[in-house]
Amino acid sequence: MAMDSGRGMMMMAFMAVLVVLISSLNATSGHVQEAAAAASSAAAKEGEEADRILSLPGQPRVPFRQFSGYVAVHEAAGRALFYWLTEAYSDPTSKPLVVWLNGGPGCSSVAYGASEEIGPFRINKTASGLYLNKFSWNTAANLLFLETPAGVGFSYSNRSSDLLDTGDRCTAEDSLEFLVRWMERFPRYKGREVYLTGESYAGHYVPQLARQIMAHNLKPKHSIINLRGIMVGNAVTDNYYDNMGTVTYWWSHAMISDRTYEQLMSTCDFRRQKESNECESVYSYAMDQEFGNIDQYNIYAPPCNSSEGSAASRRQSIRLPHRPRHGKILRQISGYDPCTEKYAETYYNRPDVQRALHANTTKIPYKWTACSEVLNRNWNDTEVSILPIYREMIAGGLRVWVFSGDVDSVVPVTATRYSLAQLKLATKIPWYPWYVKKQVGGWTEVYEGLTFATVRGAGHEVPLFKPRAALQLFKSFLRGKPLPKS
């Protein structure tokens, strides 16, 4: 019995030592995990702080933080995308992350979205400094401007062939890779509500990126991007209906003759990517002989009388994939100040501005431009229709809003209405006028799964021409509420 008792006491002592050891190991493991998490957080913080913008040259003082820089998306090719984050004016941690993309394809979200549409700053006429945009969308959300794909703005690739063979698929894949890696650098945005917005050819970029995110979120062990919705304006959507709707708009707004309209409708096959020479000659006749010296992006605004080499004239030469190629330079873009691209190109090529933005760190062998003609002319991959992705987004429960400035003749309201009609969605709230400051801001209809709105008197870049109405539209979109009836 004494022997058994001794063995029992030894066993109890051994178990006690074992418990102490296990507790010690657990504590050590916990400390290691905590230390690893802290180190990861510190590394992210360090990466984030390296991108912090202290102040831009000529910038007024602001209460919000800004960050900008590069995120590598393909190491082997040396591809990196440039971003600019302007956080919300107040309580940024409680507000969603809104990604803005401009189209072209080949045009910069820094030049357009950030500098003349929804961003907090405008560039003055001498490009010596900035002034505040009181209708900036960062009064309601954190704004992330992304220059995509590589070759747009400050974004670059060390593999020059990337600029000579690019398109929709590569843009969507790189943009997803950017978001995943960007959130590693900014972990406080993980789990945050995310919305994708943009205009024009971003009518491709935004839904295609949404589709990439939805597929990404289904894969095991992937960090979830909390995508909640998309909103696009004057969006390239479907080649056939966009083309037909554009020609119809020209005729209904007296830009072309009955004869030219009938020739376009009978001669052109709107489903083709490359039109016949006969069709192209009718397009050229309409633009050269019948349009007159107007701004196609806002048919009632004065054009910028700038030199042929300006950003404005280059942008008008940019080819939209749903339209035939034209060798001739078209008319210049305009806005309240029709020469804003010139100011952007002067400002963003200043070495002190690039240093403040942490941009052009690899000394790109060309100037920063608002739009890349090289990239646009070598756009070799474009989806014929984005409507199937709309069906996927609606089925996936995303909030989907589409808006149209109604004096744009490039991607006009008729084109968008023809395209969306193909979805055959049931109407929830019938067509009605919506208001901003007791004035009709436009008209809207709410369908099952999608909201469509027009913006009265706005051109292709809706926030440029109607900033107050655009901000109202944006706030209603974020709330998921119909536009106000009074």
Classify 125 as helix, strand or coil.
Answer: coil
Residue 322, classified by CB atoms within 10 Å of its CB into exposed (0-12), middle (13-18) or buried (19+), is: buried
Number of H helices, E strands in the chain: 14, 15
**H or E element at residue 419:** helix 413-421
Alpha-carbon radius of gyration of the chain: 26
Contacts 24+ apart (CB under 8 A), 294-297: 294/255, 294/331, 295/331, 295/332, 295/333, 295/334, 295/338, 295/459, 296/330, 296/331, 296/333, 296/408, 296/409, 296/410, 297/333, 297/334, 297/408, 297/409, 297/410, 297/459, 297/460, 297/461
Residue 75, classified by CB atoms within 10 Å of its CB into exposed (0-12), middle (13-18) or buried (19+), is: exposed
- C-beta atoms surrounding 164 within 10 Å: 13
Task: Tell me how many degrees the CA angle 102-103-105 measures, rounded to the nearest 5.
Answer: 140
Give the CA count within 13 Å in the CB-facing half-sphere of 354: 17
* Residue of 136, 155, 200, 313 marked active site: 200
- C-beta atoms surrounding 61 within 10 Å: 6
Classify 322 as helix, strand or coil.
Answer: coil
258 is catalytic: no
486 is catalytic: no
Contact in structure between 442 and 420 (CB atoms under 8 Å): no
The tokens describing 384, both together, are 């014929």
Q: Is the dihedral of CA 30, 31, 32, 35 positive or negative?
A: positive
DSSP string, 151-201: TSTT-EESSGGGGGSEEHHHHHHHHHHHHHHHHHH-GGGTTS-EEEEEETT
* Residue of 204, 322, 460, 476 marked active site: 460
Q: How far is CA 376 from CA 81, 318, 382, 390, in A?
A: 17, 7, 11, 25
* Rounded Cα–Cα distance for residues 471 and 428 (Å): 24
438 dihedral zone (left: phi>0; alpha: psi -120 to 50; beta): left
Contact in structure between 131 and 60 (CB atoms under 8 Å): yes
The tokens describing 147, both together, are 């220059």
* Rounded Cα–Cα distance for residues 431 and 428 (Å): 10
Q: Quickly tell me which residue has 């963003």 as its tokens.
A: 348
* Residue of 408, 409, 419, 476 marked active site: 408
Residues noted as catalytic: 200, 408, 460
